A and B are shown apart, each in its own frame.
Chain A
């Protein structure tokens, strides 16, 4: 799952620790989501969307399947 969390965070000049505190998760979790190593649960995705006042699908985008046939 691709996401624009790093961009949204940078726009607000928040550190990963700042965002982690606002979301009630660890900094490692924010880092893992930003680096697309971990996809958040639906409740956490809603929390992120609410915090940035956006829809979930504006932040998280499913990776396109490479259909070469």
Chain B
């Protein structure tokens, strides 16, 4: 882990899912990138084992998002892939681009919900090699 200024990261990874939580993560990461001039890497991945994955963004939407951010003058890279494990893909991407910040969207979970369902955000937080910011959508 490099000792960069925590308030001025050079590369931010945003874990994106096509829902309010993913959008909250993008919004925050976008704000950080804009303020610090950091590079922004957006990861939107799916295990691809179901026919339809609502959290996997449509091609046109991801392209629109990329164009909007590029239009704002940000250095953006988008990873839109089918991977064996989504959390691992986010962590691996962060390591690969040498990110100094990862942003994930988290949802409120009941204790039982936590028990039953593994959370991608939780695994990113635990496994990432750099600081992770967990954001919640404005309710």
Q: Do A and B come from one complex?
A: no
A positions within 8 Å CB-CB of B: none
B positions within 8 Å CB-CB of A: none
